[in-house]
Amino acid sequence: MSGYIRLGVNVDHVATLRNARGGGHPDPLSVAKACVAAGADGITIHLREDRRHIRDADAEAICGWAAVPVNFEMAATAEMTAIACRLRPHGVCIVPERRAEITTEGGLDVVGQSEALRPVIARLTAAGIVVSLFVDPDPAQVRAAAGVGAAVVELHTGAYANGHPGELERLRAAAALTTQLGLECHAGHGLTFANVMPVAELPEIRELNIGHFLMGEALLTGLPVAIKEMKRLMDAARRV
């Protein structure tokens, strides 16, 4: 047994579906509430600079509701920092962001951007927000995250999910390093029923953030069934 592991559900693609047609349906807040009713421990939203899915009104509604911790993903910009300080979500996860990308394609370069990140993290922390950095499972990036004042790192599991050799071992080593550095460890990106258990087994990981896969599964089986099955697999992994 290695303790309880939380599931954060990302509802960005509910907004993607709504925006494809316009109007207000499906509503990300309503889906967030349904996720929590089904067993989700938290809700993740990414307010992108281009507002391609979650919009300001969604962020305000979900952060205002906040029946569970809200994980507010954002780029390290002055605009997003100001919005986060106003909305005061439980946590902010700073992610890299490029206009041309379909989804987040890799971890943040904390080593190369440490001077720019430090004041953003300080301002968010002063506002009472727990700050996480989304990083590849690279020891240098994990150490840099601790050095700039982050409380949490979220390990990017995309390469693992895509079947790249050696990625589980990299995740294992990076997760172990977080404990040595006093960081809380989360993980996410590309996780599915088929690949979640080896990641959930890593004892240092306290939270997994999963979105796209669960929204896709919900089309087939319904949201409660999809979330309950993911929770079952994560809990089973902790009993191994």
The residues assigned a catalytic role are 46, 73, 189
Q: What is the CA radius of gyration of the chain?
A: 17
Closest CA to 91 of 181, 152, 139, 21: 152
- Asked if 147 contacts 114 with a C-beta cutoff of 8 angstroms, the reply is yes
- Asked if 47 contacts 60 with a C-beta cutoff of 8 angstroms, the reply is no
Spatial distance between the Cα atoms of 9 and 49, rounded to a whole number of angstroms: 21
| Cα distance from N-terminal residue to C-terminal residue, the chain | 7
The residues, ordered by sequence, that sit 6+ positions from 202 with a Cβ below 8 Å of its Cβ are 171, 172, 175, 185, 187
Spatial distance between the Cα atoms of 91 and 153, rounded to a whole number of angstroms: 12
